[in-house]
Amino acid sequence: MEAIDVIKVKYIKELLEHDKREDSRGMMDFRSIKIANNIIDTAEGSAQVDLGSTRVLAGVKLEVDEPMEDTPNEGNLVISSELLPLASADYEPGPPSPEAIELARVVDRGIRAGNCVDIEDLFIE
């Protein structure tokens, strides 16, 4: 184990011994939650969720298009995500990073598996 890993393990153990998290909250304390909707004027729908100091912004855009040949009675759902440099120095501007692509895939799977959106309801005859 490298020295940095030993330091991290020691730090985490100290936090646990004092029943604290890294941000000084207790182990059972929640972060504050704020939700605002319709904050993007150019989107058909939008929401901003602040969970402590973490901010997530979601927008919905609608477009009428031809259905896919293999699903002629269904609409289409496209999920994308962006991780902005403003959020972390780890993120860079430009094409989606592997993390942004994976986030979009996980959200897409959750929406589809949870039947959150009926794709047939997106079809316009």
Alpha carbon distance 7, 16 (integer Å): 14
Residue 57 to residues 25, 79, 83, 120, Cα–Cα distance (Å)? 24, 13, 11, 26
% of the chain beyond a pLDDT of 90: 58
Place 1 in a pLDDT band, splitting at 50, 70 and 90: low
Tens digit of each residue's pLDDT (9 = 90 or more) over 23-70? 888 899 999 999 999 999 999 999 999 998 889 999 999 999 999 999
User: CA angle at residue 95 from 94 to 100, to 5 degrees?
Assistant: 110
Region 103-114: mean pLDDT is 93
Task: Pick the closest to residue 46 from 30, 35, 32, 33 (CA basis).
Answer: 35
pLDDT higher than threshold 80 for residue 121:
yes
- Residue 22 CB coordination number (10 Å): 8
What does the alpha-carbon distance between residue 95 and residue 109 come to, in Å, rounded to a whole number?
22
